[in-house]
Chain A
Amino acid sequence: MDGIAGKSPALTWVVNISALLLVLLWTIPTFGLLISSIRDKDQLATSGWWTSLASVERNLIERSSAPDTQVLEAGIYVITGNVFGTEQGDDLGEVTAFGWRSQQPTAFEPNTVAQMNKGLTLSVGRNGDYRLTSPVEFTGSRGKRIFITSIEAPKFTTNNYNEVLFAEGLGRSFLNTMTVTIPATIIPILIAAFAAYALAWMEFPGRSILLVTIVGLLVVPLQMSLIPLLRLYTDIGIGKDYIGIWLAHTGFGLPLAVYLLRNYIAGLPREIIESAKVDGANDYEIFLKIVLPLSFPALASFAIFQFLWVWNDLLIATVFLGNNEEQLVMTGRLREMLGSRGGNWEILTASAFVSIAVPLVVFFSLQRYLVRGLLSGSVKGG
């Protein structure tokens, strides 16, 4: 195939550039999320993430310190401070214009003195230091409004992650997701492996009907199961508990598990199994000592599928688990945040990235097995 593309340099270029475009198109959305999640939340809300390395121009409304901080200097009352906050601003931003009325928020250049009503004056320096003076004493409890336009250097921070993990309860949900995922991955593997061996190498009546049924069950929509199972759980008294969701994920994962593992185990060389039988081993011993170790690649493929599927599942968790702190999984938390924190992109992007980080690590480190599983599961007709 290389030979065909290699014949014409122009074609090679076209292929390379098209592939690059496709890859960019597919990675930019996730990349944008990652960049946004480490940006300062004010910058994130006012400029696109693709500008995150450029300085940001922002229009801010700040307030001077309260009148009780005023000092008397040579007969005039003075309030001083910094518009960027209490810590004297060094690299927080650079003021390019300021004003004192909302109609003209950019009327004055920095370091000039603005004449306000009643003899008050205001000046703001480039670094944000302001000086507000008055011939008579300032009264009231609040400071004066100061309108500034500032240029800010790009700011990156891990604050968003601190906030979502500890203040927004995502850390707790992370544990809940783990609690759901690990048993719901391991239990179906064990059960499916035994069943797959029986279907592949043991003789019994009804074997082919059973296999065909499992192939049929592969595509049964989950939606069919929700109501009957919810009613069943209520009748039995399992209610909304972890055991219920583990079993549910086991049930929904089993058809694929049995199908994948049977295909693999049935493909193992007949001689190995028959020579073991001749040596007097029964099926249980053959399965445990020979088939199970040989099936590792297929077991790994299914484990990855099931892990990703359970970790990313929202539907089953919503139906079979509660909405409380102890049970809300990450996907459920994300959904809740989309409703309650819809505009807070710093919260949403950081939370989304926390929830996709583990699957991405699993994906990139174990991709080989995932692809192998996909190929054996799909190319054969599942």
Chain B
Amino acid sequence: MEQVLVALFTMVVGVLGCILYFWGSNIILDLIYPASGKKAANNIRKSSAIRPWLFLGPAIVILSIYLVYPVINSLYLSFRGPAGNEFVGFKNYIWMATDEKFLESFWNNMMWLIIVPAASTIFGLVAAALTDRIRWGNIAKSLIFMPMAISFIGASIIWKFIYDYRGEGSEQIGLLNAVVVYFGGAPQAWITIPVWNSVFLMIILVWIQTGFAMVILSAALRGISEETIEASVLDGANPLQIFFKIKIPQIYGTIAVVWTTITILVLKVFDIVLAMTNGQWGSQVLANYMFDWMFRGHDFGRSAAIALVIMVLVLPVMVWNIRNARKEI
């Protein structure tokens, strides 16, 4: 209980501190440059030049410390030794290029990058198309969307239970093995089978992300102008043709957004692999491998180099986003 009180107290202090800062700094600004008197016009001009920076100050400081500085610092650290003390040139990158586990993580990540966004978007599109046409569509949407609220680690437990394996002959309590046995197959320890185990982990992320894809694509599908659909109906198109030839081409932009958003998420996937296999049985991925070198390997140089690889993979999306944003501004 004491801790909750401390948390509440800190929260109030933090919030009050924020308010005090914004309120106080604005009052002081008005006192220094009052909007009245002889130099009123001059003062207003000065204070409105300063005020934006009062508003932006905390955000700029925090963003610089927590995001901008680390990117630069990581780049620097990736050329340095385990504790960051000495310059080692490209040693960390050379190590990476020859390290078997790194290459395994890299190719696994590539596989994740292709399968997860594709599967989530396709399932999301199917779910959107189906739920938009039924009466209980909103309930169905809610239920498919629900896994998004579940933590990766919670989802991992849910699915580990589904993949649970008992020796042949004893009763299976994992749903997947029970189904396999029911149809006459032999039970498998799914998450220990190399290559395929990655697919079983990907299913978890697809399960979580499909709802997100569905919500956005469903909104896009509803935004399509009725005229194009009516015209195609008059021309005798069947529902499938309407869907694939009329509707889908009109939402390519949204599909791209969904796809890239999930791509970014996939690059950072960490919790699922950590919880399910911790990179054993050939299922390692970059984010978890980086974590491994950071906490178990205690090598900040190598770890930073791995983080940089993730950053480089994200870069094209970042550039694309920025170009889109510039068009809007």
Binding site for B on A (CB under 8 A): 1-2, 4-5, 11-12, 15-16, 18-20, 22-23, 26-30, 32-33, 36, 44-50, 175-176, 178-179, 182-183, 186-187, 190-192, 194-195, 197-199, 202-204, 207-208, 210-212, 214-229, 231-232, 242-243, 246-248, 250-252, 254-255, 258, 280, 282-284, 287, 308, 311-315, 326, 331, 334-335, 338, 345, 348-349, 351-352, 355-356, 359-360, 362-364, 367, 371, 374-375, 378-382
**Cβ contacts A to B, 18 pairs, < 8 Å:** A22-B126, A23-B140, A183-B10, A199-B56, A202-B52, A208-B326, A218-B318, A224-B67, A224-B308, A225-B66, A227-B77, A284-B22, A334-B275, A338-B156, A345-B164, A352-B157, A360-B146, A367-B142
- Determine if B173 and A195 form an interchain contact, defined as CB atoms under 8 angstroms apart: no
Residue in A32, A243, A381 whose beta carbon sits within 8 Å of that of B175 in the complex: A32
Q: How far is the CB of B304 from chain A (nearest CB, A)?
A: 5
- Determine if B71 and A1 form an interchain contact, defined as CB atoms under 8 angstroms apart: no
Residue in B130, B171, B229, B270 whose beta carbon sits within 8 Å of that of A15 in the complex: B130
Q: Which residues of B contact A223 (CB under 8 A)?
A: 268, 270, 287, 290-291, 306-307, 310-311
Q: Name the 3 nearest CB pairs between A and B, nearest first.
A: A251-B66, A312-B151, A363-B149
- Contacting residues of chain B (160-211) with chain A, CB-CB under 8 angstroms: 160-162, 164, 171-175, 178, 207, 210-211
Q: Which residues of A contact B304 (CB under 8 A)?
A: 227
Task: Closest A residue to B139 by CB, please name it.
Answer: A23
Q: Which residues of B contact A5 (CB under 8 A)?
A: 133, 239
Binding site for A on B (CB under 8 A): 3-4, 6-8, 10-11, 14-15, 18-19, 22-23, 26, 30, 35, 47-49, 51-53, 55-56, 58-60, 62-63, 65-71, 73-74, 77, 84, 123, 126-127, 130-134, 137, 140, 142-154, 156-162, 164, 171-175, 178, 207, 210-212, 215-216, 219-220, 222, 229, 233, 239, 242, 254, 257-258, 261, 264, 267-268, 270-271, 274-275, 287, 290-291, 294, 300, 303-304, 306-308, 310-311, 314, 317-318, 321-322, 324-326, 328-329
Task: Closest A residue to B307 by CB, please name it.
Answer: A223
Residue in A15, A191, A199, A312 whose beta carbon sits within 8 Å of that of B62 in the complex: A191
Q: How far is the CB of B96 from chain A (nearest CB, A)?
A: 14
Taken together as a complex, chains A and B put the C-alpha atoms of A349 and B159 apart, in Å, by: 11
- Determine if A190 and B59 form an interchain contact, defined as CB atoms under 8 angstroms apart: no
Q: Which residues of A contact B178 (CB under 8 A)?
A: 48, 50
Q: Which residues of A contact B172 (CB under 8 A)?
A: 48
Residue in A1, A221, A243 whose beta carbon sits within 8 Å of that of B307 in the complex: A221
Given A220-B71, A308-B149; 15 other pairs, CB 8 A cutoff: A26-B144, A30-B158, A186-B14, A194-B55, A252-B67, A282-B51, A314-B270, A331-B151, A334-B153, A348-B161, A360-B146, A364-B146, A367-B142, A378-B258, A379-B220
- Determine if B15 and A186 form an interchain contact, defined as CB atoms under 8 angstroms apart: yes
Q: How far is the CB of A15 from chain B (nearest CB, A)?
A: 5
Q: How far is the CB of A191 from chain B (nearest CB, A)?
A: 5
Q: Which residues of A contact B210 (CB under 8 A)?
A: 26
Contact A47/B14 with A219-B264, A221-B311 known, Cβ cut-off 8 Å: no
Task: Closest B residue to A257 by CB, please name it.
Answer: B59
Task: Closest A residue to B178 by CB, please name it.
Answer: A48
Taken together as a complex, chains A and B put the C-alpha atoms of A314 and B304 apart, in Å, by: 20
Taken together as a complex, chains A and B put the C-alpha atoms of A356 and B161 apart, in Å, by: 16
Q: Which residues of A contact B59 (CB under 8 A)?
A: 191-192, 194-195, 254, 258
Q: Which residues of B contact A331 (CB under 8 A)?
A: 151, 153-154, 271
Q: Which residues of B contact A198 (CB under 8 A)?
A: 51-52, 55-56
Q: How far is the CB of A382 from chain B (nearest CB, A)?
A: 7
Contact A345/B314 with A4-B242, A191-B18, A356-B151 known, Cβ cut-off 8 Å: no
Contact A224/B158 with A26-B144, A186-B15 known, Cβ cut-off 8 Å: no
- Determine if A183 and B318 form an interchain contact, defined as CB atoms under 8 angstroms apart: no
Contact A363/B146 with A183-B14, A198-B55 known, Cβ cut-off 8 Å: yes
Q: How far is the CB of B153 from chain A (nearest CB, A)?
A: 5
Task: Closest B residue to A312 by CB, please name it.
Answer: B151
- Determine if A217 and B68 form an interchain contact, defined as CB atoms under 8 angstroms apart: yes
Q: Which residues of A contact B303 (CB under 8 A)?
A: 227
Residue in A219, A251, A315 whose beta carbon sits within 8 Å of that of B270 in the complex: A315
- Determine if B143 and A36 form an interchain contact, defined as CB atoms under 8 angstroms apart: no
Taken together as a complex, chains A and B put the C-alpha atoms of A341 and B66 apart, in Å, by: 36
- Determine if B151 and A381 form an interchain contact, defined as CB atoms under 8 angstroms apart: no
Task: Closest B residue to A199 by CB, please name it.
Answer: B56
- Determine if B321 and A26 form an interchain contact, defined as CB atoms under 8 angstroms apart: no
Q: How far is the CB of B244 from chain A (nearest CB, A)?
A: 14
Residue in A176, A202, A352 whose beta carbon sits within 8 Å of that of B158 in the complex: A352
Taken together as a complex, chains A and B put the C-alpha atoms of A6 and B142 apart, in Å, by: 23
- Determine if B55 and A202 form an interchain contact, defined as CB atoms under 8 angstroms apart: yes
Taken together as a complex, chains A and B put the C-alpha atoms of A217 and B150 apart, in Å, by: 25
Q: Which residues of B contact A282 (CB under 8 A)?
A: 26, 30, 35, 47, 51
- Determine if B152 and A312 form an interchain contact, defined as CB atoms under 8 angstroms apart: yes
Taken together as a complex, chains A and B put the C-alpha atoms of A46 and B325 apart, in Å, by: 56
- Determine if A356 and B173 form an interchain contact, defined as CB atoms under 8 angstroms apart: no
- Determine if B325 and A215 form an interchain contact, defined as CB atoms under 8 angstroms apart: yes
Q: How far is the CB of B296 from chain A (nearest CB, A)?
A: 12
Taken together as a complex, chains A and B put the C-alpha atoms of A335 and B70 apart, in Å, by: 27
Q: Which residues of A contact B242 (CB under 8 A)?
A: 4
Taken together as a complex, chains A and B put the C-alpha atoms of A280 and B311 apart, in Å, by: 47
Contact A314/B58 with A29-B158, A225-B70 known, Cβ cut-off 8 Å: no
Q: How far is the CB of A278 from chain B (nearest CB, A)?
A: 13
